[in-house]
Structure 1
Amino acid sequence: MSSLDEETDLARVADSLRNDVRRKIGALRTQIYEEIHRVGRVAEQRSCQLAARIDTTDERLGGIAGAQDDLRRQTGDEMRGTRQAIARLTGEIHLIEGRLRLEHGVVPVDLDEIPAGLAPLVAQVREAEDIRSSLLDDKTRQDHEQTVSAYAELESAVAESRTRALEASRTLATAKAGGRAFRKAAVVYRRERALLRARTEELRTTRVDRDASQAELAQDVRRRQSYRSHRGATAIDELTDHLRDRIDAAVAAHALFPAWFTITELGHRPPAARAALWREVAVEVLLYRLTHQVRHGVLALGPPPGSGDPLAERHAAVLASLARLSD
């Protein structure tokens, strides 16, 4: 066999091997692609199954959470209802007890009575409270301060307009008539003179309000200084201690409280779970009555003050304290 034939045979064998390798690679590639697609389909199916299980679990958990919320609300409502029922029953028991004691001649404790030893202290507290109730509230004080401040700003604006008008008049007196500087000064002069007249008139019409606001602020400063230096401003703590002792003594002696006391949230007796709060609110109510000389037999705080009454804020604060007992 010639060398040419050998080369031809080798080339044929090489082509055959190359084609065989290509076929195997193609078959392997096809097999890999099919396996990838199969794995993808399996993974997708598995993912869908897991998602469905998660959705089912979420629905079950949501149902459980909803049931738990409903149970919590129901339990809370039942507990509130139970507490209210207990409070009503306790109040009725105390009411029956009070009526029985009244029938047996038990006299309610007179919490409005001022012992002789406390009379000077109560008088000092009342004087201090009268001063405090006459102090300007924050909004009124701010309104007066704004009036005074606005007037001062207007005075500054008048002074500025006057200065500009004078400067323009000097320019008019020295500049060449009809020249650019002259014309510019004439415009400024007319504008500032008009502003000066308008602002001066505004000063005239608002001066009375400014003077009144200044007087109110000055008087408020004097009242605040008087309140800070008044003995009653600190004596209220001493009086509060005495009133607290009086309440404690009445509770310890199982005393019968007056009607104006029992018809409020205070009731006939302090609740065991909130005795400390009850005690402080009772002292607050009694302090209000003594300080503002409330003697009403039914209304613990007396008739409600009007919206502009200095007592309105204090009255509302004591009512809010009473409301805490029913929370």
Structure 2
Amino acid sequence: MTSTEAPTDLARVAEALRNEIKRKLNTLRLQLTDDLREVARAAEERSAQLARRLDDADGRLARLAEAHEELRRQAEAELRGARQAITRLTGEIHLIEGRLRLEHGVRPVDLDAVPPELEGLVAQVREAEEIRSGMLDDRTREAHHGALDAYAELRRLAAESRARALDASAVLARARPGRREFRRAAASYRHHWRRLGAQNAELAATRDTVAVAEKELAADLRQQEQFSTHRGAVAVAELTAHLRRRIDAAVETHALFPSWFTITELGHRPSAARAAVWCDAATRVALYRITYGITDSVSALGDPPEGGHRAQRYAQVRAALSELAE
């Protein structure tokens, strides 16, 4: 081999090696690409499988939750129905018992009766209630005070507008026309004068309403003072205690209660679990009847009052009865 042929052979060998390396690299690159695609495809399939399994699990959980909720509703409905049935059966048993006792000459306890020794106490309670009936209810009293406060505030604002208008007129009297001070005073005077006119008109429009509010609040204050010195609160407490003892004694002796009593939420007698609440509601009803002289044999509270303190008392007693039905 000549000296010129050796470099040529080396170049061919180097080129062949480069080509071989490139070929192998390309082969590896293609293989890696295929492997990556396969891994990605497998990952996607696995992800899809997991997603489907999660969806299935969510569906099963939702169905289980729905079934549990349905069972809970059914159980509550059945329990509610059972309680109502027990209450109804208890009432029917008491009704049958009452009829049998009536047939044997047992008379219902007279909760409306006022014995001679309590006539003075009842008279004091009714007198105190008559005084309270002349008092304003809380909403009306608050509305009247609000009207007076608004009227006083409007008068203060009107006085402020009048003072500022007078201040502006004093500036106009001494300032030179056309000057900045004069123009500002003129604008201020017009603004506050117009504002004063509107405020005076509003004061005139509300003056009659305010006069009525003042008159009614003054009368209400007199009624409150009269009520505070009256023995009514003590008399009510004493009469309430007497009625409570009468009702407790009737329960202890298994006495019959009148029809107006038993057709309410009170029924024929208290349950062991709510005896205290029952006795409180029964006492409220009896006190209401005696206070307002209700003798209706069917309606425990009589006709609903139209308004005033008696309407508040009526609502309170009705709320106490409704609590027994809960």
Could you say which TM-score interval applies, normalised by the shorter chain?
0.7 to 0.9
Partner Cα distance (1:176, 1:86) in 2: 96
Partner Cα distance (1:3, 1:237) in 2: 137
Structure 1 unaligned residues grouped into runs of 5+ = none
Change (3 A) 1:195 1:324: closer
Name the aligned partner's letter for residue 35 of structure 1: D
Matched, 1:94 2:106: no
Q: 1:64 aligns to what?
A: 64
Q: 2:311 aligns to what?
A: 312
Partner Cα distance (2:194, 2:323) in 1: 62
Name the aligned partner's letter for residue 255 of structure 1: A
Q: Which aligned pairs between 1:32-71 and structure 2 lie closer than 5 A?
A: 32-71=32-71
TM-score in terms of structure 2 length: 0.83
CA RMSD of aligned residues (A): 3.2
Partner Cα distance (1:65, 1:275) in 2: 39
Partner Cα distance (2:242, 2:69) in 1: 48
Q: Which aligned pairs between 1:72-83 and structure 2 lie closer than 5 A?
A: 72-83=72-83
- TM-superposed deviation, 1:39: 1.9
Q: Which aligned pairs between 1:203-214 and structure 2 lie closer than 5 A?
A: 203-214=203-214
Change (3 A) 1:234 1:44: farther
Change (3 A) 1:201 1:26: closer
1:199-244 Cα offsets, whole Å, 9 max, x none, are 4455445333223212323443444455456543355445444433
Change (3 A) 1:5 1:200: same
CA contact (8 A) 2:137 2:308 kept: no
Q: 1:325 aligns to what?
A: 324
Which deviates the most, 97-106 or 72-81?
72-81
Which deviates the most, 90-99 or 67-76?
67-76
Name the aligned partner's letter for residue 102 of structure 2: L
Q: 2:248 aligns to what?
A: 248
Q: 2:105 aligns to what?
A: 105
- TM-superposed deviation, 1:104: 0.7
Change (3 A) 1:241 1:12: farther
1:244-269 Cα offsets, whole Å, 9 max, x none, are 33222111100000111011111112
Name the aligned partner's letter for residue 70 of structure 1: E
Change (3 A) 1:36 1:132: farther
Structure 2 unaligned residues grouped into runs of 5+ = none
Percent identical across equivalent pairs? 56
CA contact (8 A) 2:136 2:220 kept: yes
Partner Cα distance (1:5, 1:320) in 2: 121
Change (3 A) 1:87 1:172: same
| Secondary structure of residue in 2 paired with 1:70 | helix
Partner Cα distance (1:86, 1:62) in 2: 36
Q: 1:19 aligns to what?
A: 19
Name the aligned partner's letter for residue 32 of structure 2: I
Partner Cα distance (1:120, 1:11) in 2: 138
Partner Cα distance (2:57, 2:142) in 1: 61
Length, aligned pairs only? 326
Partner Cα distance (2:82, 2:152) in 1: 64
Which deviates the most, 34-43 or 176-185?
176-185
CA contact (8 A) 2:136 2:308 kept: no
Q: 2:282 aligns to what?
A: 282
Partner Cα distance (2:239, 2:111) in 1: 13
Q: 1:216 aligns to what?
A: 216
Which deviates the most, 260-269 or 314-323?
314-323
- TM-superposed deviation, 1:56: 2.5
Name the aligned partner's letter for residue 315 of structure 1: Y
Q: 1:28 aligns to what?
A: 28
1:68-90 Cα offsets, whole Å, 9 max, x none, are 32232223222222222222222
Name the aligned partner's letter for residue 146 of structure 1: G
Which deviates the most, 192-201 or 68-77?
192-201
Q: 2:144 aligns to what?
A: 144
Name the aligned partner's letter for residue 312 of structure 1: A
Partner Cα distance (2:79, 2:286) in 1: 32
Partner Cα distance (2:6, 2:123) in 1: 137
CA contact (8 A) 2:172 2:185 kept: yes
- TM-superposed deviation, 1:55: 2.2
